[in-house]
Amino acid sequence: MTKKMLIIDNDTSLLTKLKINIKDFDVEITTTIDESIEIIENGGFSFIVADIKLDKGKLGYHVFDKLFFKGRYVPGIVITAYELTDGQEEELKKIGVEKLEKIGAKGTLSSRIQSHANEILADRQKKYAGIFNKISEYELENSNALHDGQTKTISSWMKIVLDGMLSIEDEEKIIDSVTKVCNVLIKRDDSKDYDFPQI
């Protein structure tokens, strides 16, 4: 089955080149975060690539928080031609997303994106970094999640995922169950100053 990748960038000529040259993924492209949310909700994407700076001052990596707040999680990277501020670096760390320089590195951007995406998807710790970070940030490790008729703590489910003995389908079902529980708990606790921007 072909993996699906969504690329968000305001440079339409770059998007066209990436769509043509990335061969390991079925690539869809868009220029806005709002449109990307709609696209992701209508299709099973494996990976997101988002440019840091979009039109009207929008920051591409906010797509990851917006998805998580809606009970969804898709791993990804951000691409940038700019130096990031310390605040931006910290935000990327919190959502578990790595950056990739658009220019100045060896190899074409499309081949580097493809290679980086495949590496992250093969490494469960990197693939689910954003979920691990949110679970830790909101101290949800010992909360219970129900999956396939079994109740376990979130940390127990995540250990099962990391052990790597599941099919991709079962792994994604567990992650979906865990993500839904995390979002319910975060929204329910009004004392938490959670940072998921609502759409």
Domain boundary (124, 149, 174) is at 124
Pairwise CA distance, residues 121 & 78, whole Å: 15
42 vs 173, more confident: 173
Domain boundary (124, 154, 177) is at 124
Is 94 a domain residue? yes
Mean pLDDT of the chain: 87
Identify the CATH number of the domain in which residue 99 sits: 3.40.50.2300
Whether 104 has a pLDDT exceeding 80, the answer reads no
Is 106 a domain residue? yes
**Predicted pLDDT of residue 106:** 58
Whether 196 has a pLDDT exceeding 50, the answer reads no
Is 196 a domain residue? no
Q: Identify whether residues 155 and 166 lie together within a single domain.
A: yes
Whether 199 has a pLDDT exceeding 70, the answer reads no
Question: Are the C-beta atoms of 33 and 60 separated by less than 8 Å?
Answer: yes
Pairwise CA distance, residues 100 & 113, whole Å: 8
Q: Identify whether residues 106 and 138 lie together within a single domain.
A: no
Q: Identify whether residues 105 and 135 lie together within a single domain.
A: no
Is 195 a domain residue? no
Q: Identify whether residues 45 and 58 lie together within a single domain.
A: yes
pTM: 0.87
Domain region containing 26 = 3-124
What's the mean pLDDT in 53-66? 86
Q: Identify whether residues 171 and 89 lie together within a single domain.
A: no
Is 107 a domain residue? yes
Q: What is the DSSP string of 33-99?
A: HHHHHHHHHTS--SEEEEESB-GGG-BTTHHHHHHHHTT----EEEEESSPPPHHHHHHHHHHT-EE
- pLDDT band at residue 185 using 50, 70 and 90 as cut-offs: confident
Pairwise CA distance, residues 22 & 2, whole Å: 12
Is 12 a domain residue? yes
What's the mean pLDDT in 123-146? 92
What's the mean pLDDT in 36-42? 86
